Amino acid sequence: MLFQLVNFLVTLVVLNALLIRPVREIIKQRQDKMAGLLGESEQFSGQAEAKIKNYEAILAQARSEAASERELARAAGQAREHDIVLAANKEAQDYLLKARADVSAQVATAMDSLRSQVGALAAKATAKVLG
């Protein structure tokens, strides 16, 4: 029985030295590696979230800048439109005044022409009526 006990203890020491310690060491290394990988993944996740927040902040700033530029452009366009409309109205009024002056001149010329022919036309009309 002593021999079996010594044999068991020797087997236990040998198995511990050859199998159990290396397996425990491998398990510990694997746990350390997994903990390191988990820490790295959490770090990468944190960096990704920070980059996303930074991107969203930059995007929001760009949108507000674009909106303000759009409003400035709209205001400039409206001012330009107002100037163009005023210029077109002035041009139309000038054209209308010129046209009225031309028509008045033509009417005056026609009236002068008709006044000079009134006597002749009256004589013709009288001659036709009297026969």
Give the global pTM: 0.48
* Domain boundaries of the chain, sorted by first residue: 1-124
pLDDT at position 119 is 84
The span from the CA of 61 to the CA of 67, in Å, is: 10
Model pLDDT for residues 18-70, shown as the tens digit of each residue = 888 989 999 999 999 999 999 999 999 999 999 999 999 999 999 999 999 99
Specify the higher pLDDT residue, 115 or 109: 109
Using CA atoms, how far residue 122 sits from 65, 73, 109, 115, 131, in Å, is: 82, 70, 20, 11, 13
The span from the CA of 51 to the CA of 39, in Å, is: 18
Please say if the pLDDT value at position 131 is more than 80.
no
The span from the CA of 5 to the CA of 1, in Å, is: 6
pLDDT at position 130 is 82
Please say if the pLDDT value at position 114 is more than 90.
no
pLDDT at position 19 is 86
